Amino acid sequence: MAAKVSQSEILGWVVEVFQKEFDFGGDELQLDTHLIDDLDLDSIDAIDMAVRLEERTSVTFSDEDLKNLRTIRDVVDLIDGRL
Own/partner contacts of 21-24, CB < 8 Å, gap of 24 or more, are 21/48, 21/49, 21/52, 22/48, 22/49
Q: Which residues pair with 34 in a beta bridge?
A: 71
In the complex, least distance from residue 64 CB atom to another protein, rounded to whole angstroms? 9
Q: Which is nearer to another protein, 6 or 37 (CB)?
A: 37
Q: Which is nearer to another protein, 6 or 70 (CB)?
A: 70
In the complex, least distance from residue 27 CB atom to another protein, rounded to whole angstroms? 18
In the complex, least distance from residue 8 CB atom to another protein, rounded to whole angstroms? 23
Interacting residue ranges for another protein, rule: CB under 8 A: 22-23, 35-37, 41-51, 54, 60-63, 66-70
Q: Which is nearer to another protein, 2 or 44 (CB)?
A: 44
Distant-in-sequence, close-in-space partners of 47: CB < 8 Å, separation ≥ 6: 66
